[in-house]
Homo-oligomer: A and B are copies of this chain.
Amino acid sequence: MLVTAASGVAPRRRDLDFQLFDVLDVEALLHLPHFAEHDRATLAGVLDAAYEVAGDYFSPTAAELDAFAFRLENGEVATPDSLKAAVRAYVDAGFMGATFPAEHGGLQLPATLSSAAAIVFTAANGSANAYAFLTIGAAHLLAAFGDDEQRERWMKPMVEGRYFGTMALSEPHAGSSLGDITTRAVPAGDGTYRLHGSKMWISAAEHDLSENIVNLVLAKLPDAPPGVKGISLFIVPKFLVEAGGARGRRNGVHVTGLNHKLGQRGVVNTVLTFGDDCVGYLVGAPHDGMRQMFHMMNEARIAVGAGAVALSLAAYEYSLGYAKERPQGRRLTDKDPLAPPVAIVEHADVRRMLLKQKAIAEGGLGLVLYCSRLVDTATASQDARERDDANLLLDVLTPVAKTWPSERGIESTSLAIQVLGGYGYSPEYPVERHFRDQRLNPIHEGTTGIQGLDLLGRKLRVNGGAGLQLFLDAIGRELVAARDVEALREETTALAAACEVLATVTRALLDAQIDLGAERALAESTAFLDAFGTIAVAWRWLAQARVAATAPPDDFYAGKLTACRYFFRYELAPAVETLQRLAALDDLIFTVRPGML
C-alpha cells in the first residue's frame, strides 16, 4: 500500500461537538430533572469513551470481521476473539445501558448522546455495533411492554450486557408483509406458549458473545384474527432461566441455516426454527405484537439512518485523507510533465466528490441527531404538549431519517470508492466495505418503498396533517433565527420557498388519496419521501451554517458554510423541481402494465 490508512474513526470529534453542543444545544437537556444527574463533563466523557473504545477495539477488527467465515457447527456459531473483546469493551464502558433509566441499571443519558456514540461505533465497525444495537432495542421493548418479572429476568441481563437480544419478524415468504407470517404460538396451559415455525434473515440469533440470547418473536395465537391484527409478541430465549437467574435447559429454538450477504457480513444472519418443545413468553396482551414491535421498529429505523450516516462519514473521512496524501497528475494549467504531481485533492472533480460526500454525511448527521434530540424531549420534557409534539414530529421524521441517509449513503460511499479509483475497488481499503454495508440500509427495517407509503399514506394524515405543520413550524423557527445572517440570505429564501411548495404539494397528494384513490395518489411516494428528506436535511444544514456564520471564521466554519450552500444549490433545487412534478399527479408509472416492462 502506498497510502497510509486514516485512523478509521469518524466523525471528527470537532464536528460531533459542534453538532451536539453548538447546533442542538444538548446541554439544555441537562436542566430537565430526568437528566439532572449529568453535566457537560459527563457528556464529554461519554464521547471520550466512545472514541477510545471505537479506536482501540472496533476499528482494528472491522476488516477481519468482514472477512470472517461464520460457520454453523452443531447448531452453534463461533465469532472471532477480536469481536468478543470489542463487545466486552463496549459493555464495560457502560454503553449497553447508556439510555436506560437508573432504576433499570442504566446511565439515564440523553438519547442524543448515545446516538452520537452509536455513530462513532458504527463508523468504526458497523457489524460489531449491530450486536449491541439489537440488544438495546430488545431491552427497550421489554422496558416498555414487559411485566416486572420479564424485565427482571430478561431485560436486566441485557442492560448489563450478559444477555444479547434479537428481533425476529421476517419469514421466507413474508418480509414487508408481516400480516402473512405463519409462525404459531400455542398455549401450554401454564401461562407459557410453545412456538412452531421458522424465521428468515434473523441477525445475531446465534453467537458466542453472551450467556444467553433473547429472541423477540412475532407469532400468531390459535385464535388470532387474520393479518397484522393477529400478531403477538413472544420472548423466546436460547436458554430457559430459573426463577433465581440460573441458566436452565436449552430451549427448542435453533439456527438451522446461515445466510450470506453482500455486506454487514460481520453480523451473523440466520434461519431460525422453532419446535422441539420451544417455550415462549407472551409480552403484553395477545394480538398486540405489531404495536409493540413498532416501538422497537421506530427506534430501529432511526438507528438505521444513524448507521447509514456513520458509514457515509467513515467513507468520507477515509477518502478525504487519501485525497490529501495520494499524488497523481498535475493541475490542468501545469503543462510541465517534469513538475511533481499534486495531491488529488487539488483536482476540482475530486473536491466535488468530497464536498458532495460532506454534504450528504454531515447533513444526514444533523438530521439523525435532531431526531434523537426529539426522543429526549419526548421522554423527559415536563411539558405534556411539548412531549406530544415531539412524538408526532418524530413519527413524521422517522421514515425520512431512516431512508434519506440510506439511499444517499449509497451514492456517498460510492463517491468515496471513486476518489480512490482502482484502490477503492480493492478490499485492501475500507471504502468498498462501507459501500457494501450501506447497501443493506434501504432494505432492512422496512424498505424505502414501505417508508414512502408510511410517510405519505399514514404519518402525514395523522391528526388532520398536524405532523406536517409541526415540521414546517420547526423550519420556520430556524428561518427566523437565520433571518439576520446576511451570508445566508440565499439559503433562507430558498428554504422558505421550498416549504411553500412542500405544503402545497403535500396537500394535493393527501387530497388525491381521497379523490383519486390511494394507489394512484401514492404511486410516487418514494420520490416524495426523497424530496421531503432533502428539505429536512437542507433545514439541518441551515442550522449548522447559521451557527458557523456567527462563529470566529476559520476553515471548519467556512467548510460548513460552503457545504450548506452546495447542498442548497445542488440538492435542494432539484428536490423542489421533483415536488413540482409530483403536484401534476402524472399517471405514467401507475398505468404501466407488467407486459410493457
Question: Could you tell me which A residues sit within 8 Å of B by CB distance?
Answer: 2, 170, 172-177, 179-180, 200-201, 226-229, 259-263, 320, 323-324, 327-333, 337-338, 341, 343, 345-352, 354-355, 358, 410, 414, 417-418, 421-422, 424-428, 432, 435-436, 439-440, 442-444, 447-449, 452-453, 457, 517-519, 522-526, 555-556, 558-559, 562, 565-566, 569, 573-574, 577, 581, 586, 588-597
Contact = CB atoms under 8 A, between A and B. Distances in A.
A124 to B, nearest CB: 21
B341 A177 contact: yes
A590 B555 contact: no
Contacts of A343: 594
Contacts of A346: 594
Contacts of A174: 328
The interface centre, meaning the residue of A200, A261, A320, A443 with most chain B CB atoms within 10 A of its CB, is: A443
Contacts of A332: 453, 457, 518-519, 522
**Count of chain copies:** 2
A5 B346 CA distance: 47
Contacts of A333: 517-519
Contacts of A201: 422
A465 to B, nearest CB: 19
Contacts of A330: 177
Nearest to A560: B596
For the complex of A and B, 8 pairs with smallest distance between CB atoms: A227-B337, A559-B596, A555-B595, A349-B449, A348-B523, A177-B329, A226-B337, A332-B518
Contacts of A596: 555-556, 558-559, 562
Given A173-B328, A174-B328, 12 more contacts: A2-B172, A173-B327, A177-B341, A227-B337, A260-B426, A262-B427, A324-B594, A332-B518, A354-B592, A355-B592, A559-B596, A569-B581
Contacts of A439: 414, 417, 425, 432, 435
A592 to B, nearest CB: 5
Given A170-B422, A226-B338, A349-B452, A519 B331 contact: yes
A403 to B, nearest CB: 12
B175 A354 contact: no
A336 to B, nearest CB: 8
A177 B331 CA distance: 11
Q: Which of A262, A444, A574, A586 has the most CB of B within 10 A?
A: A262
B176 A328 contact: yes
A328 to B, nearest CB: 5
Contact of A577 (B262, B517, B577): B577
19 contacts: A2-B173, A173-B328, A177-B328, A201-B422, A226-B338, A260-B428, A320-B597, A332-B519, A348-B522, A349-B452, A349-B523, A355-B589, A417-B439, A417-B443, A421-B447, A432-B439, A562-B591, A566-B589, A569-B586
Contacts of A329: 176-177
Contacts of A586: 569
Contacts of A175: 328, 421-422
A524 B352 contact: yes
A130 to B, nearest CB: 14
Nearest to A523: B348
Nearest to A327: B173
B426 A443 contact: no
A332 to B, nearest CB: 4
A446 B3 CA distance: 21
Nearest to A329: B177
A597 B337 contact: no
A70 to B, nearest CB: 14
A597 B358 contact: yes
A6 B451 CA distance: 29
A179 B337 contact: yes
A103 B435 CA distance: 48
B525 A349 contact: yes
A321 to B, nearest CB: 10
Nearest to A1: B172
A348 B590 contact: yes
Contacts of A577: 573-574, 577
A418 B337 contact: no
Contact of A566 (B228, B351, B588): B588
Contacts of A200: 422
B592 A176 contact: no
Contacts of A338: 226-227
A574 B574 CA distance: 7
A536 B190 CA distance: 71
Contacts of A260: 426-428
Contact of A349 (B229, B259, B323, B526): B526
Contacts of A453: 332, 349
A448 B226 CA distance: 53
